[in-house]
Amino acid sequence: GENVEQHPSTLSVQEGDSAVIKCTYSDSASNYFPWYKQELGKGPQLIIDIRSNVGEKKDQRIAVTLNKTAKHFSLHITETQPEDSAVYFCAAGITGFQKLVFGTGTRLLVSP
């Protein structure tokens, strides 16, 4: 079955710096890759997703890149702010299987 690895497990940056979180997946049939942000005491919230027919997607300060050949995808956050501090999860899904496989999470801390 699918396996998703996520790195790093923790990431500390200064406000205004960029943050990059990387995930690799094992099943070449995976074609949907969402990213979730989970704040303390809340459920994960979708922040951006990408499908396998595109290589990059941006939404303001957040971008995701996908390399299907290497089977990895990354989340990029620019101009980080303290409110970006949270746990971030990547996931991979396959059309028709209705399930997502999640990475192990990255705890991002943005210091003022």
Minimum CB distance to another protein, residue 84 (Å): 16
Minimum CB distance to another protein, residue 10 (Å): 10
Q: Determine the interface stretch with another protein among 16-24, 62-70, 75-83, 93-101 (rule: CB under 8 A).
A: 93-101
The rounded distance, in Å, linking the Cα atoms of 108 and 112 is 13
> Is residue 75 close enough to count as binding another protein by CB under 8 A?
no
φ, ψ (nearest 5 deg) of residue 107: -90, 115
Q: Which residues contact 11 (CB under 8 A, 6 or more apart)?
A: 19, 21, 106, 107, 108, 109
The rounded distance, in Å, linking the Cα atoms of 19 and 79 is 9
* Contact flags string 25-64 toward another protein, x per CB under 8 A: ------xx-x-x-x--xxxxxx--x-x-------------
Q: Determine the interface stretch with another protein among 20-28, 56-64, 75-83, 101-109 (rule: CB under 8 A).
A: 101-109
Minimum CB distance to another protein, residue 109 (Å): 12
* In the block, residue with structure tokens 């390399």: 67
